[in-house]
Structure formats: C-alpha cells, structure tokens
C-alpha cells in the first residue's frame, strides 16, 4: 500500500502533469505576519481595507488588499489569509513597516473585541513559483497565457491533504495558498520558523533553489509588473489604482465604506488613471537608480523608477506616453515596456476621456 506521501506525489504527478518540471522555493525575508482574531474581527477589518473580507467566507483561502489613509493613499499592501480557526486571520505585509502597521490596526480597534499579535518570530512566508517566468521578456510573452501556476487543491487531493479552504492546502505544518493576485506568482507558503518549508515541499514537488537565488522572486514580480512592499509602494505616496490594486483583485467597489474609500471609488467611476506600475525590460543591467528616481526620456517626464534587479525593473509610468515609445532612456540604461498580459484588454478607465468639472 502506498504511503501517505507517495499517494500525494502520485496524484500530483497524474493530475498536474502539465506543470513545470522544477519550482523555486524562496523565503521572503522582507515579509512578515500579524495574527488578527476575535469576535468582532470581520466587521473591524472590513472597515479598514479595500477588499471584501466576506470573500474568505465563501471558500477562498486568501485575498489581496490594501490599507489606506484618509486621503486614499496607500499605507500598507497586504495579503489576508484565512486560517482553520474561526475568526482568526493572518495578515502578510512588509517587515520594515510591520510595527507601524500593528499600531495602525490597534489605533482603530477602539472597544472592539479584537486581538492583534505580531507573529514574525513564529511564522515565515515563502513563495513557490515557476523560475522560467524570470528568464526574459520573450519567455514571459510566450508562456504568460498558459495556466502554469500551481493549482491547489486538485480534486483527488481532497481526500489526502487536510483542507482549510478551496484555495488552501496544508502538508504537515506548511500551509499552501494560491497567490490571489496573478496566477504566475505561484504559491504562498506559511510555515513555523522551526520548519524547513523547502525540505517539506521537496517531498511533494521537484523543488530547486532554496536561498541560492535571493532576488529571483523579486525578479519574477518585476517581470510581471507587480509591486509589493514599501520600496515599490512608498507609504503615503501611492494610490491603489496606480498600483494596479484593482487589476490584482484587491479592491471591492461594491462593499460598504472603508478608510480612503471615497477618493478611490470616485477615481474608479469618473476618473482616468493616467499612471500605473509597469514592468521595464533593460537591454543591459542598470548600474544605479537615476537622480530622484525620475524617468526623463526624450525630454518628457514619464514617471518614476521604483526598483530594478538584473535586467528587469518596475516603474510608475504615464501609460500612454510610455507605451508609445520603442525605447526609454533611464539613467545609464535603455529599456522597453509593455502592458502586462494580466491587465484587462482596453480597460475602460484608459479609454474614457472625462470632461473636467
């Protein structure tokens, strides 16, 4: 009789035979976790974040969201995870801002029955992804529309892997969540600090890497045009729609009020988003950030560079101007850009030309 692990391996190979041969598992050392729980936690979080927490009660394991200030600017980007316990959630955000985030949440707690705990010393966040997505712009365009991301659970796995939701599975002490933003970002893993998630995933999948490629996940994000954390989304200096939060399934325009909702909703319904985060593909690796991070090409101010790694970067660009250029001069480098495949085709907010009131 097949052992439990062998059963899982057999079913995964049979059901998911079209997936990549190897995965990278990388610990995201710049990410941290808060545990938020209590009888009032659902209504409490609902009034603070851009997405609808009720999605998690409908079988979804995780949702992408943002926490804004009263002027509608981004304070924190986050992934909210459902757990197997009732009224207990994990919030993943930038490690550098996690203490500020904790204070922000406690400030709005008032008299609600909500507990907020920093669990950074207990739990780690990992990403498991297809490394082929980081190779080049050409490889991204070739495979971007294929369903390469790992799907969990697969039907027959329900009988073997303990289930916490339709998009979350647990193997031993490692929780596996489908990334709620873009499928190509792969799987988020949450594991205790005393557990080697790379080793555990090697029991199920053909895993390579570990910590040998520290920047590979960041390179993947930049290749896809996805921002994350304070470096890409400066606190009090970014708007959720410019950060593609709407395209990344991180905003509900049908839920009730939340902090920063008025400007976000008004911009979505009546405005034009002229700038968005977009990927950059450099001909050669950039040596340094341009002065004040500004992108001035052909005398035109196109936007600001948020970061780069290898031959890819991420920038807040004026969509129409940047898309019309075959090449963009950035500091000592030359780059190209394009709208990511996961953007809606001919998004209405880019087509409309609303008259000024």
Mean pLDDT of 7-19: 52
Mean pLDDT of 321-344: 93
Residue-level pLDDT at 142? 41
For residue 128, tell me if it sits in a domain. Answer: yes
For residue 346, tell me if it sits in a domain. Answer: no
Counted domains in the chain: 2
- Separation of alpha carbons 198 and 203, rounded Å: 9
Quick one: 267 and 288 in the same domain?
no
Q: Of residues 327 and 141, which shows the higher confidence score? A: 327
CA–CA distances in Å: residue 313 to residues 108, 127, 222, 279: 36, 19, 6, 6
* Residue 195 near residue 174, CB atoms below 8 Å: yes
- Separation of alpha carbons 268 and 37, rounded Å: 32
Quick one: 328 and 198 in the same domain?
no
Residue-level pLDDT at 8? 56
Quick one: 237 and 306 in the same domain?
no
CATH at residue 312: 2.40.30
For residue 179, tell me if it sits in a domain. Answer: yes
Residue-level pLDDT at 215? 53
Mean pLDDT of 176-196: 93
141: Cβ–Cβ under 8 A, 6 or more apart, which residues? 341
Residue-level pLDDT at 163? 52
Residue-level pLDDT at 6? 58
- Separation of alpha carbons 176 and 4, rounded Å: 18
For residue 348, tell me if it sits in a domain. Answer: no
For residue 294, tell me if it sits in a domain. Answer: yes
The pLDDT > 70 percentage for the chain reads 79
> DSSP strand E in the chain: where?
23-27, 31-37, 62-68, 74-82, 88-94, 115-118, 123-129, 163-165, 168-171, 174-178, 187-192, 207-209, 275-282, 294-297, 300-309, 312-318, 328-330, 333-337
Mean pLDDT of 272-289: 92
pTM to 2 decimals? 0.84
Quick one: 305 and 185 in the same domain?
no
Max mean pLDDT among 29-33, 158-162, 182-186, 199-203 falls in 29-33
CATH at residue 65: 3.30.1360.120
Report the chain's mean pLDDT, rounded to a whole number: 84
- Separation of alpha carbons 272 and 257, rounded Å: 22
User: Does the pLDDT at position 5 exceed 70?
Assistant: no
Residue-level pLDDT at 213? 53
Q: Of residues 286 and 3, which shows the higher confidence score? A: 286
pLDDT digits (tens, 9 = 90+) for 18-74: 554 578 899 999 999 999 999 999 999 999 999 999 999 877 899 999 999 999 999
Quick one: 168 and 197 in the same domain?
yes
Quick one: 232 and 293 in the same domain?
no
161 — pLDDT class (breaks 50, 70, 90): very low
For residue 357, tell me if it sits in a domain. Answer: no
Residue-level pLDDT at 134? 58
Show the domain range for 323: 274-337
Residue-level pLDDT at 4? 56
Quick one: 142 and 159 in the same domain?
yes
pLDDT digits (tens, 9 = 90+) for 288-323: 888 889 998 878 899 999 999 999 999 999 999 999
For residue 342, tell me if it sits in a domain. Answer: no
* Residue 37 near residue 88, CB atoms below 8 Å: yes
User: Does the pLDDT at position 9 exceed 70?
Assistant: no
Mean pLDDT of 275-280: 97
Task: Concatenate the DSSP letters of all residues of 46-64 into one string.
Answer: HTTBSS-GGGGGGT-SEEE
Helices and strands (DSSP H and E) totals, the chain: 10, 18
């Amino acid at each position: 009789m097949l052992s439990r692990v062998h059963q899982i391996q057999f079913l995964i190979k049979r059901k998911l035979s079209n997936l990549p041969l190897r995965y990278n598992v990388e610990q995201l050392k710049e990410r941290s976790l808060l545990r938020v729980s209590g009888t009032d936690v659902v209504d409490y979080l609902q009034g603070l974040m851009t997405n609808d927490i009720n999605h998690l009660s409908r079988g979804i394991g995780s949702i992408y969201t943002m926490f804004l200030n009263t002027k509608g600017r981004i304070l924190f980007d986050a992934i909210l995870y459902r757990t197997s316990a009732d009224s207990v959630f994990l919030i993943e955000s930038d490690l550098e801002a996690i203490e500020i985030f904790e204070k922000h949440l406690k400030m709005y707690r008032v008299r609600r029955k909500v507990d907020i705990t920093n669990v950074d010393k207990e739990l780690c966040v990992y990403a498991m992804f297809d490394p082929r997505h980081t190779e080049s712009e050409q490889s991204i365009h070739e495979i971007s529309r294929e369903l390469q991301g790992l799907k969990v659970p697969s039907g027959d796995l329900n009988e073997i892997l303990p289930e916490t939701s339709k998009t979350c599975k647990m193997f031993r002490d490692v929780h596996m969540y489908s990334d709620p933003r873009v499928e190509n970002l792969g799987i988020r893993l949450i594991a205790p600090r005393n557990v080697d998630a790379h080793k555990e995933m090697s029991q199920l999948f053909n895993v390579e890497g570990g910590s040998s490629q520290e920047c590979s996940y960041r390179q993947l994000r930049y290749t896809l045009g996805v921002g994350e954390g304070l470096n890409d989304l400066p606190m009090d200096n970014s708007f959720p729609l410019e950060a593609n939060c709407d395209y990344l399934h991180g905003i509900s325009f049908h839920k009730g009020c939340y902090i920063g909702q008025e400007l976000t909703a008004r911009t979505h319904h009546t405005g034009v988003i002229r700038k968005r985060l977009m990927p950059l593909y450099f001909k050669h690796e950039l040596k340094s950030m341009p002065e004040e991070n500004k992108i001035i090409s052909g005398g035109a101010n196109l936007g600001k560079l948020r970061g780069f790694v290898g031959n890819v970067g991420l920038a807040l660009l004026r969509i129409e101007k940047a898309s019309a250029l075959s090449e963009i001069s950035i500091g000592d480098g030359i780059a190209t850009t394009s709208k990511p495949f996961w953007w809606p085709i001919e998004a209405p907010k880019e087509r409309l030309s609303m008259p000024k009131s």
